[in-house]
Structures are given as structure tokens and as C-alpha cells.
Structure 1
Amino acid sequence: MSGFSRRRVLQSLAISGALCPICTALIGSPALAQSAGAHAGPHWTYEGEGGPDQWGELSPEFKVCSLGFEQTPIDIQGAIRAQLSGVSPMFQPLPLKILHNGHTIQVNCAPGSVTYIDGQRFDLLQFHFHHPSEHLLSGQSFDLEVHFVHKSSAGQLAVLGVFFKSGAENPGLAPIWAAMPQEETPETDTGVTISPADLLPVERGFFRYQGSLTTPPCSEGVLWTVFKQPIEASPGQIEQFAKLFPTNARPVQGMNRRFLLESI
């Protein structure tokens, strides 16, 4: 393949509008909530009975968890460096509406926060956390990972992933952790205002690939952006989440000849 042709292929893959039709079907369906691990369908877990190796057998609706070829998370390595037009989160302060859904801590977001990916607008719906990180970076796991789940007006899903490493206390996490429910609860409006932008890295280099939801039904056609630079959380903050969720991370999945792009 010539350099010019290869570049055209990479550009078209950067944000292919041909995300699978599942994305459109996700609008208004339980599958979108499932991106944060909400309850729907058969009981599933992260370990033991009903664990990730059994998800595809728990329900016909979960079959893609075991049969899909574009599953998330992945071990991020061997990326192709490409000239990508970038990712522009524009997050606004918002009321802290928090829930413990049995699988993670989730913050539901009021309208107004968006991310532009190659010029396409995606509205921020919610964000949630995993311990340890679901993605690996060249085989390395991080202490936490936050996923910002977005949807476009056309129904495409896009998720931004940010790693946490042990270090200084994170002020952006402080109000969320202070309100963190200790057991499964519905959404609670805490009356506190938070700034999701505080949970983004300063440097905005990233990796991009086509993947899936990381919980059942594992629907594919999700545009993933994972930032290279981790942010910090204190050992105490990491331990606080880990006590509630010792493991809520799906094991890495095969790349299966997908393109993994890295911003230059």
C-alpha cells in the first residue's frame, strides 16, 4: 500500500461513520445503561459464577460477549501513529447525581457537556469507574480508570477513558468519593456541584479504536478514545473505591485485526 493510500485509510478509520447499526438501536434501550454496568437481564459478575468467561452463555442477548470481534477492553500496544484531528471535551460544572448500581459508581450528567471528535458532537451522558483499569497500556494495569460515556444525535456511542495512578490526592474525585454510596442505591441528587473536567489529563494525546461496551450485552460499534497521560489519585482514594469494588474490570480482549491508532 502506498503512503498516500495508507494515510487515506487511516483517516477514514479515525472516525468511521459506519459504526455498526447496533449503535442506533442502543438509543433508549437498556444496553446504553449497561455501559456502566447497570442491572438488566440475567445476573452477571466480574468473578466466579456468572463471570466474564460466562457472560456470552447467560442470555442470547449476551452472545456477542463471547462471539464478537471488536470487544473492549484491550491491551493498548503496537498502535499506528496517525495524523488525527483530535478530541475536544467541553465539560461544564454539573449537579452531582450519583448511584451505586451494583457494579460501579456512576455519575449521571445533566445536558450541556459535550465532546467533539473529528468535528462530530457527542453529548456526555454519564461517567463511571473501574478498579483496576480495564485497558492495559503495553501490558501495564493502572489503579483506576474512568469512562465518560457519550452519544451523538445519530445514536453513535463514544467513550473517553482516563487512567489513574497512585500519587497526590485528586480534588476532582473528592466530592464524588464523599457522596459515594456504600451499597446499591438508585440515583441520588446530592445538592453538590462538580466539574468533570477535573478528571481529564492536561496532555491530550490519545489512542483510538472501534470497540464495545465492557459489560453485558457487550454491544459493538462503540468509538473508544483512551488518553495516554494518566492522572493521579491518592492511595487512600484508590483504597476507598477498592473496598467497594475489589475487581470490577473485564479482562482484555483480542484485537482481531482491528486498527489501533495513536495521535501524533
Structure 2
Amino acid sequence: MRNLIILSACCFAIATADAKDPPAAAPAPAPAAASGVASSKPATAAPVKPAPRPLTAAEQRIIDEQAELDLQARIAARIAEMRNSQQQRAAAAARARKAAASKKKVEVAVAKPPPPANGTHWAYDGEFGPANWSKINAKWSQCGTGGRQSPIDIRDGMKVELEQLAFDYKPSSFSVVDNGHTIQVNLAGGNFLTVQNRSYELQQFHFHRPSEERINGKSFEMVVHLVHRDAEGKLAVLAVLLERGAAHNMIQTVWNNLPLEKHDTVQPSVVLDVSELLPERRDYFTYMGSLTTPPCTEGVLWMVMKQPIQASPPQMALFSRLYPFNARPVQANSGRVVKESN
């Protein structure tokens, strides 16, 4: 009976609570007592979390402004990162281009050497003078490197029994040309010089002032070079020295037919007897040398007559007006064999 009364009271209390409060989730049942009788302590409901308070307009604006600042900072950082990356790529590309250009220059320098010089203009002084002949044209290299160059200062010649020079000169037609370096006389065929069992045909003769050759250090006012060639193309040059004295008839014939302009040619109707250029005595010096003008070809047999011939001062002055100086300096004579007639 007592238990029934307690159960009725509990039911009344629960009904009263339900009438006052809104419905809620039923609490978990209390554990039964060990004796199987329900506990008389009422159950406690779980606390309800209050709803968040709505933000004011000012608070929302602050939040939006901060979000915008954060976004701008992230954008600026990204742009800076992109620019730095772009600059690094550009610098790397520039280094690569520079390295490629340097490599190309080296390859070009190795693969394509500078073209050889092929100039044609030369002179007796200045930048086109003898010191630079070998640089003006690659084919003139012997002018600077050859070991048997002419002219030379003839000293200490070995006196020996040289064979006599055999001349077969006769009156010939000729032409006179002012070639820009000297007055040159070109001969028709049929004039020969025989020496050392070889026959050389006279091609042309020309003048230098002063003489290119020296004899024991002595220079002469002028010299005439008679250039000969044999059937094999070998050259032999006969040098006849000129000194002041009586007028020379054959030289005057040449002067009478001088061209009026440089590089012009005159072909006279008269003939020329070249034997008039030979001195009375036929003693001579001989050595192996070269042409005294470009291309300075070596292997040329030289014969320098010991006795000069004469030309008058006016005849020499006339040439001097055209070419005051057209002589190559003497070359080194070390180790050169020079022979002279007894």
C-alpha cells in the first residue's frame, strides 16, 4: 500500500511538469535500484544553447573591410611572386643568349679565318711602302719573309773567274709606259743574254732613282734594270748603274717618247738599240736574289755591272720630276754568296 501511494505521487508530479513546460526529449531512464524499486530522485533536463546574437551593420562592415584587405594582400604577394619569377626567367634567357652568342663568335673565329689580303696598290713610302708590302697582298709574302731579297749592299764579293756575259742585242721596236712606279720600256722579241749556259730573252727595262744597289756602301744617282726570262720562266736581271756626265742618246730616245699621262703607253715608229746601255767593260757582280718590287719573287739571277754609264744632269732631272724617289731599301746580306769578276 505504501508503494502504491509513492507511485501515484510521482505520476502527479510528472503530469504537472508537462503542463507547464514545452515538450522536450525524454530523459534517459534512471537505473533501477538493486532491489527493483524505482528511485524517488527526479531526472535533470540537458541545458539548451542560446541562439547567436545578430551582427550590427558596423560590425559586419569591419569584417568585410578586413576580408578585402586580406584579399588584396594575398593578390599583391602573388603578383610580386609572379614578377620575381618572370625576372628570373628573363635573366636566365639573357644569359643563355649571351652564352650562345659568345659560342657562335668563337665558332665563327675558328671556322672562318679572316680573308687573305689581296690588295694591288703599293708604293715606295708611307703605309703602302716596302715595310707593308707583305701585308697588302698574301701573294707578296716573300717581300717580308724571304731570305734572298734584293737589292743588297754588295760587299766582300768573292773574286773569281766569272764567265763573260754574251749579249745578242739588236735594234728593236718598243713601247714606253708610265706604270705609276717608273718609266718602263717593253721590247719586241729577239734580244738575248746568255750566262751559265742558259739563254734569257730581254722582256723590258726600267729606271730607279737613286740606284737600289750599293757597292761597298756607295749609292749611284740612278740605275736601269734589264729584265730577262728564259724558256722555263726563270728570271735574270742585269743592273747598269748611271752617273752624271754626258747625255745618253738611247735614254734621250726614251724620254722623247714619254707618255703624257700615267698608265698611258706610247708606241714610237723608231727602233731602239738596247746594246747602247751596256758599259765598255763587262766586269760584274752576281748573286741570287729577288724582284725588287711586289711580288718580290725569289730565285732571280742578278748581275750588276761594275762600270757605270753616264746620263746628263738634264736627263736625270727630267726623270726626277716624274719620280723623285722610287728605290727599295737594301736588304740583309748575311750568308749570301756574292761573286765578282777579277
Report if TM-score (shorter chain) is over 0.5: yes
Q: Distance in 2 between matches of 1:110 and 1:86?
A: 25
The Cα of 1:187 is off from its aligned counterpart by 3.0
Find the aligned partners of 1:45 and 1:135 in 2 and give their Cα distance: 18
Mapping of residues 100-249 of structure 1, within 5 Å: 100-249=178-327
* Matched-pair contact (CA < 8 Å) for 1:71–1:214: yes
Per-residue CA deviation, residues 114-163 of structure 1 (Å, 9 max, x unaligned), is 00112311001111111110101111111111011001112110000000
Deviations 1:64-123 (A, max 9, x none): 101000000001111001111121121110113110100011111111100011231100
Whether the 8 Å contact between 1:86 and 1:118 is mirrored in structure 2 is no
Q: Is the 8 A contact 1:71 1:211 kept in 2?
A: yes
Give the aligned partner of residue 14 of structure 1: none
1:63 counterpart residue number: 141
Partner of 1:11: none
Compute the TM-score of the two structures, normalised by the length of structure 2. Answer: 0.64
Higher share of residues assigned strand: 1
Retained in 2: the 8 A contact 1:182–1:244?
Answer: no
Amino acid at match of 2:174: L
Separation of aligned partners in 1, 2:242 and 2:227: 17
SS at match of 2:131: helix
Task: Report if the CA contact (8 A) 2:174-2:188 is conserved.
Answer: no
Tell me which structure has the larger Cα radius of gyration: 2
1:122–1:150 CA contact under 8 A, matched in 2: yes
Identity %: 43
TM-score (norm 1): 0.83
Hey, what does 2:330 align to over in structure 1? 252
CA contact (8 A) 1:102 1:183 kept: no
Q: Tell me by how many angstroms 1:42 deviates.
A: 2.2
Shift of 1:60: 1.1
SS of match in other structure, 2:271 = strand
Secondary structure class of the residue paired with 2:219: coil
Task: State the match for 1:18 in structure 2.
Answer: none
> What runs of 5+ residues in structure 1 fail to find an aligned partner?
1-39
8 Å CA contact retained: 1:170, 1:234? yes
Contact kept? 2:259, 2:265, Cα under 8 Å:
no
Q: Does 1:97 align with 2:175?
A: yes
Aligned to 1:48: 126
Aligned-residue RMSD, C-alpha: 1.2
How many residue pairs match? The answer is 225
Q: Displacement, 1:62?
A: 1.1
What is the CA-CA distance between 1:240 and the residue it aligns to? Answer: 0.4
Q: Deviations over 1:202-242 (max 9, x none)?
A: 10000000000000110100000000000000000001001
Q: Separation in 1 of the partners of 2:301 and 2:234?
A: 8
CA shift, 1:180, in A, is 1.6
Question: In 2, Cα distance between the equivalents of 1:222 and 1:106?
Answer: 19
Q: Secondary structure at the match of 1:172?
A: helix
Shift, 1:41, TM fit: 4.3
Q: Return the alpha-carbon distance in structure 1 between the equivalents of residues 252 and 196 of structure 2.
A: 32
Supply the distance in 2 between the matched residues of 1:118 and 1:86 (Cα, whole angstroms): 9
Contact 1:62 1:217 in 2 (8 A): yes
The answer to whether the Cα contact below 8 Å between 1:127 and 1:149 also exists between their aligned partners in 2 is yes
* Partner SS, residue 286 of structure 2: strand
User: Which structure carries more relative contact order (alpha carbon 8 Å, separation 6+)?
Assistant: 1
Quote how far apart the aligned CAs of 1:47 are: 1.1
2:151–2:213 CA contact under 8 A, matched in 1: yes
Q: Give the distance between the partners of 2:248 and 2:260, measured in 1 at CA.
A: 20
Question: Are the equivalent residues in 2 in contact too, given 1:204–1:227 (CA < 8 A)?
Answer: yes
Structure 1 counterpart of 2:205, which letter? F
Would you say the 8 A contact 1:96–1:176 is kept in 2?
no
- Give distance in 2, aligned partners of 1:227 and 1:81: 14
- Structure 1 counterpart of 2:84: none
